[in-house]
Amino acid sequence: MKVFNNPRDMQNQAQRWRRSSSGTVGFVPTMGALHEGHLELVRRSRKENKHTVVSIYVNPTQFGPKEDFNQYPRTLEADLKLLKREGVKAVFTPSDQDMYPEGFSVKMEITGPLVNGLCAPHRPGHFNGVVTVVVKLLNLVLPDRLYLGQKDAQQAAILKKTLQDLDTGVETVICPIVREPDGLAMSSRNQRLTPEGRKSAAVLYRALKVGKSIVDLGESDAEKVLVEIRKVVEAERNIKLQYLEAVDADNLQPVIEIKPGTLLALAAYLDNVRLIDNIVV
Ligand code: AMP
């Protein structure tokens, strides 16, 4: 397994693959502290492409000043072992200095309906940071396909639209959410929960499933469904909902009437850790 620290080395490798037309390249960008959710993206990419590149980079520009950039778990050695075991041949782990050298002066901005709701108003600048770093990474890795998780549904929708709007020719592949046995969506941030918080966290998916089952029984009034989900979450002490919304899964616009394809999405704080989850009904 080759580990590229330097962006130029990564790009040279990518260009060699391109020139030799030796099959497609799949790319899985991550912030590390890898778990099964990440590894499923890696497996899917390995299945669908000749080459798979995984990046591990905790991107400072997508964290707000009061967010958890410093506390974000960093477990590079364990991550590399996992990727080696998966048969990954190329990992990209750039430094901040290489990604944002002194004088770096580009900031991409997402506008429009995709950033009206969900995480965007609560994390000003977050998605601009995500898009900027992913476009840089794409220019270094030159992939044919980009693998993203449904766990970060808004991020996936925004990146898919960005790749289309910028005519990158890169295909977006969105993979299902991988969960712990009790239903909690896997996340690098779960490591930061206390044992008690970890138990409480399962309520988020339980609540979303209650919402889905009400819809399955015939309720289509979004507000009524959201009220029932909220009740389940709020019955658990120590959890604070940041938002709970019913939106169209493609354009992320709020819906009044729930239809097939509606996304129920939430963010909540627990032990000072911000967790997100969603379900498509
Ligand atoms: P992160 O390291 O949190 O930035 O995530 C890197 C990629 O893995 C993103 O596309 C995430 O959506 C995806 N991902 C993270 N957790 C999960 C999960 N539990 N299931 C599926 N994909 C995930």
Given a cut of 80, whether residue 205 has pLDDT beyond it is: yes
Q: From 152, 155, 205, give the residue whose CB has the most ligand 1 atoms within 8 Å, as the site to mutate.
A: 152
Assess whether the C-beta atom of 41 lies below 6 angstroms from ligand 1: yes
Task: Please report, rounded to a whole number, the percentage of residues in the chain having pLDDT higher than 90.
Answer: 99
Rounded to two decimals, what is the model's pTM?
Answer: 0.97
Given a cut of 90, whether residue 22 has pLDDT beyond it is: no
Mean pLDDT of 251-273: 97
**pLDDT tens for residues 136-167?**
999 999 999 999 999 999 999 999 999 999 99
Given a cut of 80, whether residue 21 has pLDDT beyond it is: no
- Cβ contact 144:25 at 8 Å: yes
Assess whether the C-beta atom of 188 lies below 6 angstroms from ligand 1: yes
Phi-psi region of 214 (alpha: psi -120 to 50; beta: other; left: phi over 0): alpha
Q: Which atom of ligand 1 is nearest to the CA of 179?
A: 19
Given a cut of 90, whether residue 10 has pLDDT beyond it is: yes
Active site residue 38: yes
Given a cut of 80, whether residue 254 has pLDDT beyond it is: yes
Mean pLDDT of 43-65: 98
**pLDDT tens for residues 61-97?**
999 999 999 999 999 999 999 999 999 999 999 999 9
Q: Which two tokens stand for residue 259?
A: 């239809």
Mean pLDDT of 181-207: 97
Catalytic one among 35, 38, 51, 122?
Answer: 38
